[in-house]
Structure formats: C-alpha cells, structure tokens
Structure 1
Amino acid sequence: MSDTEIRGLMTRLYQSWADNDADAFAAFYTEGATVVLPGVFRQGRAAIREHMAAGFDGPLKGSRAVDEPQDIRVAGDTAIAVSRGGVLFAGEDSVPEAREIVATWVFTRRGGEWAVAAYSNAAAH
C-alpha cells in the first residue's frame, strides 16, 4: 500500500463519517479491530459500529473528522500511519487547538484488501 492508497482509504473512511453512516464507517475495520480513545476502548467491528451509530445519533450528528497523515510506513502486509486532526462540528472550518489529536493507525492487508486493525488517539497538546 502506497502513501496515496493510505490517504485514499482514510478519505473514504472519513467520507462515511461525514455521511453519518456507521455501517460504512465500521466496514473499514477488521472484524477484531481495536479503537482506543481517551476514556474509550472498543474491540471488534460490531462494537465500533455501535459506538459510531450512538455518536451519529447524538453528539457527533452533523460532524466530520479531518486527519492529515504525518508519517506513513509500509512493511509487507502492515502499514502504520501517524496523523494529526480532530472533529469538526457544524459551523467549524478548523479544529480548535484544544481539540486537536494525534492518532496512530495500524492497517493490515488480507486477501488483497486493506483495513484498519487498530486506531488510537490522544490530545495533541
């Protein structure tokens, strides 16, 4: 997977967020994927889907996420990306500094298809 492919996958994943489509969002994750956020741990595609559906029905309704890869490394069937971004709520054009995050993504390839195996983020400041 090249840098361009990683960026493309992230763009498609975040388009599903902008569409508030929890099913499409979760489909980018492996069956056993993990997501670790401050105060949150979700394991498995179903749990990730459930978490995002609740968010899209509540505090994330109408939001979109932005993430700019800072570093992408590919080693065989594994890729690791470090990105910087955050969540934009309705009416926002940029992520306020207090809500900026740094994230680590682990992508894996199985059967020629790439998916998110693990995602974690923390405050950037």
Structure 2
Amino acid sequence: MSENPQITGLLTRLAEAWNAGDATAYAALFTEDADYISFDGAHSQGREAIESSHRWLFEGPLKGSTMSTTDGGVKVKPLADGAVLVISGGGTAVAGRQRDSIVSFTAVRTPQGWRFASFQNTRVAS
C-alpha cells in the first residue's frame, strides 16, 4: 500500500468542503450512487442523500465543526484498474471536542476524476 497524490488531494478537498460547511462541495466528491455509512451506522445511499444529510448536519448539530486528516499517512491499496481502497485516520472537532476515527473509502476513477464510491466511519474508542 502506498500514498497516491490524487487520492490524498481528494481527501484534502473533502476536509476543505467539511470545514467550509459546504454540503454541495462535500457530496460532489462522491459518485452518484455512493454508499455512506456514518459512525453510528446510518446509511445514506447516493450523492443526493449525502448532500441532504450533510446540509442538515452543517446547518445544525455540526455547524462550525472542523475535520482534520491523519498525520500518520493514508494507505491506498489498488483493487482493480481505476479502483482503490483508502484507509485513513482523522476526525472532527465539535465545540472544541475532538472525535477521532478510522475511515475507509472505495475510490474510483470517473470521467470527472477520482470520486468516492463508498465510505465507512468507525470511531476510535477513547
């Protein structure tokens, strides 16, 4: 497994969209039919659902929250031509309280560039 500048760039854009509270930009980094599983097991299906749920979060309980990426690197494992598994640490801070996670994505190459086709967030036990 190795780092991949295109994938780390995609992760950076994901954090930038989160930190801006921009649900549209956040969801645009996912495929139209992406599966998104949050830390509590909630399952959103499709870019539209990801955008809608994040708009609610960014305007409500996660307003002003920030996302950080891992300092320990991002692992990228090729699965097939144009598809990789991505495993990364990171987390979000809400009202000064950090919540660390390990996240996994399936990223796929699309005509618009790399996009996430799946996401799974697992909270790190404190």
Q: TM-score normalized by structure 2?
A: 0.86
Task: Quote the residue 2:117 is aligned against.
Answer: 117
TM-score, normalization by structure 1? 0.86
CA distance in 2, matches of 1:123, 1:9: 21
CA deviations 1:3-61 (Å, max 9, x no partner) are 11111111011101111111111100000001012231100000000000000110111
Structure 1 residues 57, 81: closer, same or farther in 2, change over 3 A?
Answer: same
Larger RCO: 1 or 2 (CA < 8 Å, sep 6+): 2
Cα pair distance change 1:84/1:111, threshold 3 Å: same
| Aligned ranges 1:1-125 → 2 under 5 Å | 3-37=4-38, 38-68=40-70, 69-74=73-78, 75-91=80-96, 95=98, 99-111=99-111, 113-125=113-125
Unaligned stretches of 5+ residues in structure 2: none
Q: Between the two proteins, what is the percent identity of the paired residues?
A: 33
Structure 1 segments unaligned to the other structure (5+ residues): none
Question: Which protein has the bigger strand share?
Answer: 2
Supply the AA of the counterpart residue of 1:16.
A
RMSD across aligned positions (CA)? 1.6
